[in-house]
Structure 1
Amino acid sequence: MGTEGMAEDDLAIEHVFGNFHDYYTFNPEAERIRFLSPSLRSSLYHAFHKQKRVYYMDIGCNEGKLTKAVHKALKNPQTLAAPTTETTFSVDNICLLNEKLQKHHQNPEYVTIEDGGTGHRKHFIIHVFIANVFFGVGDGVSKKIAKAKAAGQALERLNSIEAAEIPTSATEIPVTEELAKTTTEEPMELYTIGIDVDPVLIDRAQSLVKNDTTLHFEVADVMLGGQLDEICKNHLENSECFDLISCFSITMWIHLNHGDAGLIAFLNLAASKTKHLLIEPQPWKCYKTAIRRLERLNHKIPASFRQIQIKQNVVQVIESHLNDLFPYKTSLGKTNWSRLVLLYSKEPLNSPPKAK
């Protein structure tokens, strides 16, 4: 088989198991991190801070960028007051930029300077100009994503220009009593492990944390009998379960490859190993997209993909099942790709509403 055929075959495998090797180029970690709001991080900190060590596991960590970002956000409460210096990818940036420019009777001009990529994976680069002056650039697998990133950069630059025109004393961010209390606390001792079925992705993840003994990555498949128990045995000290487990965008791949029973078994397993579960389940439309992509690649659709019976109501089924396993549920909002992000808890965090 030639190199091109091998590349296409590898790409097809990514669409079977969801282990995309360029995932964060079109779903940047900042989009998920925004759900860890200051109030939520403060609640988690105060729930955990009395423990000698706090344990967090990210299932399906890919190349570890999001895992590392969550680890950093949770570990030190002082990050709650720190402004971000990264361009946050949000489709709202397009509207926000238009609104900001309306009062100046200006309109942004978006220019696509490159339409690259492959036949199966597009790539777009878009520049944004204001009054014929370059203000930002964005790239992504769709023009909408690239445009949103470019708009985000333009907003940052406009905000920095406006801030420079305001006296320094007026730009200071007021610190609330709650935040002031939080920022004086010592960083928690947090131990994080990210797992994924793909050894190439885990190699990339390990390269991010060569000198950090509190952040660990390893190859593991939680659907193989006993692997999650082995992880708990090897990594948890004086604790029977993790304090927090996250499952970002992986329920569909477990469901497609392990069937309806496998999905429920995974939810039961994850719930049994954590006090809090942060989960982003994929809706049915994502399943249809996954199958269409495999068809375009002329790749054989696995039999397990065709055999599932939980379909249009899959998110509702997941929510209902987790409601039975956790007494508390908090909806954190929706991603830019319209997926719910939910936090399930066995212990209350500032008395969140009970699951219904």
Structure 2
Amino acid sequence: MEQKEYEEISEPGAAPYGNFINYYTFNPPEKRVSLIPEQLLHQLFGGREHERQLLGLDVGCNSGDLTVALYRHLIGLNQNVKNEMGYANGIEMSLLGCDIDSRLIQRATESNPFPAGISYSVLNIMDASSRKSILEAYLSQYKRSHFDVCFCMSLTMWIHLNHGDSGLLEFLSVVSGLCNILLVEPQPWKCYRSAARRLRKLGKSTFDHFKTLAIKGDIADKITHFLTTACDMELLEILGNTCWDRSLLLFRKRISTKPFCVADEQS
């Protein structure tokens, strides 16, 4: 990678999909993970983790730092433990991290301390064909049709800015349909304005959809409304707010419905 290219994608906000290289130097994973209860999987799955392996999906994983932190935290691994098989504290879990940027996925793969428990794949989650083939291939390894839990951490803004209002709603429909439990960390509206401003300062064109977005204001509230009214999800809890004033919203598929199967998607 040329030095100029590296500097451009290292600049906060310069990458159009939020795929900047040094993201976790200014938004450390520990600050978000600390808001998640250590016994969350026990609480959510009521002992069923002893019966089968839990599957997780981290959408927009960047270089994998948060993926690893989530994995450690949720299965109860000590920070000094490496190369475990994804089983600790009575929980067995496999986690797939995906990102649109192949360079970030390469970095995540090369630095992965848990290759038996964490996998990474290049994926544009908004590409239905790629989404179907990649996620279906992963799930088929476990003879499963959906994930137990899906993480969407500081991702919704980038989907929204690049795909507009309809794209955001499509994204929420897709990810909520892939899992039983969904954890979303939406960026507030002030982050949208900051991202557009930083892009302009770098002499780049602003996001195509920014000026035409109708979904604005209290983004977390609007995402919650859509998930609970159009996606058969219920809001279990707001786990807290990060130092950047981003809420961690925990949703669960309503008992009367079942998750959407990846295999059911149209080619």
Cα deviation digits, residues 35-83 of structure 1 (max 9, x gap): 222343431463541432110010000110110111122224xx5xx6x
Q: CA separation in 2, counterparts of 1:20 and 1:48?
A: 38
Give me the whole-angstrom Cα distance separating, in 2, the residues matched to 1:246 and 1:258. 20
* Equivalent in the alignment of 2:260: none
Ranges in structure 2 where 5+ consecutive residues have no aligned partner: 81-87, 256-267
- TM-score, reference length from structure 2: 0.82
Aligned counterparts of 1:186 and 1:333: Cα–Cα separation in 2? 24
Whether 1:280 aligns to 2:185 is yes
Match of 2:258 in 1: none
State how far apart, in whole Å, the 2-side matches of 1:21 and 1:45 are. 35
TM, length-normalised to structure 1: 0.63
Range with bigger deviation, 306-315 or 247-256: 306-315
Match status 1:335 vs 2:248:
no
**Corresponding residue of 1:259:** 164
Deviation at 1:263, TM superposition (A): 0.2
3-state DSSP of counterpart to 1:344: strand
Contact 2:95/2:118, CA 8 A, preserved across alignment: yes
Structure 1, unaligned stretches of length 5 or more?
86-184, 349-356
3-state SS of 1:330 partner = strand
Tell whether 2:35 aligns with 1:25. Answer: no
The sequence identity of aligned pairs, in percent, is 33
CA contact (8 A) 1:15 1:290 kept: no
Q: Which segment is superposed worse, 315-324 or 224-233?
A: 224-233
> How many residue pairs get matched?
242
Which whole-Å CA distance do the structure 1 matches of 2:37 and 2:62 have between them?
23
Aligned partner of 2:59 in structure 1 is: 59
Check 1:326–1:41 CA distance in 2 against 1; reply closer, same or farther (3 A cut).
same
For residues 47 and 183 of structure 2, the distance between their equivalents in structure 1, rounded to whole angstroms, comes to 15
State the shift of 1:347 in Å: 5.8
Compare the two structures and name the one with the higher helix fraction: 1
8 Å CA contact retained: 2:56, 2:149: yes
AA aligned to 2:123 is: A
**1:283 to 1:218, Cα distance in 2 relative to 1, 3 A:** same
1:213 Cα offset (Å)? 2.1
Q: Is the 8 A contact 1:328 1:347 kept in 2?
A: no
Larger Rg: 1
Provide the C-alpha distance between the structure 2 equivalents of 1:241 and 1:61, rounded to a whole number of angstroms: 19
1:250 aligned partner: 155
State the 1:330 CA deviation: 1.0
Q: Is the 8 A contact 1:323 1:329 kept in 2?
A: no
Match of 1:199 among 87, 90, 102: 102
Partner secondary structure for residue 288 of structure 1: helix
Q: Is the contact made by 1:328 and 1:346 (CA closer than 8 Å) also made in structure 2?
A: no
1:157-191 alpha-carbon deviations (Å, 9 max, x no partner): xxxxxxxxxxxxxxxxxxxxxxxxxxxx8632211
Counterpart contact for 1:14–1:20, Cα < 8 Å: yes
Matched residue SS, 2:187: coil
SS of structure 2 residue aligned to 1:265 = helix
Give the Cα separation in 2 of the matches to 1:40 and 1:206.
Answer: 26
**2:145 is the counterpart of 1:234:** no
Residue 205 (structure 1) shift: 0.6
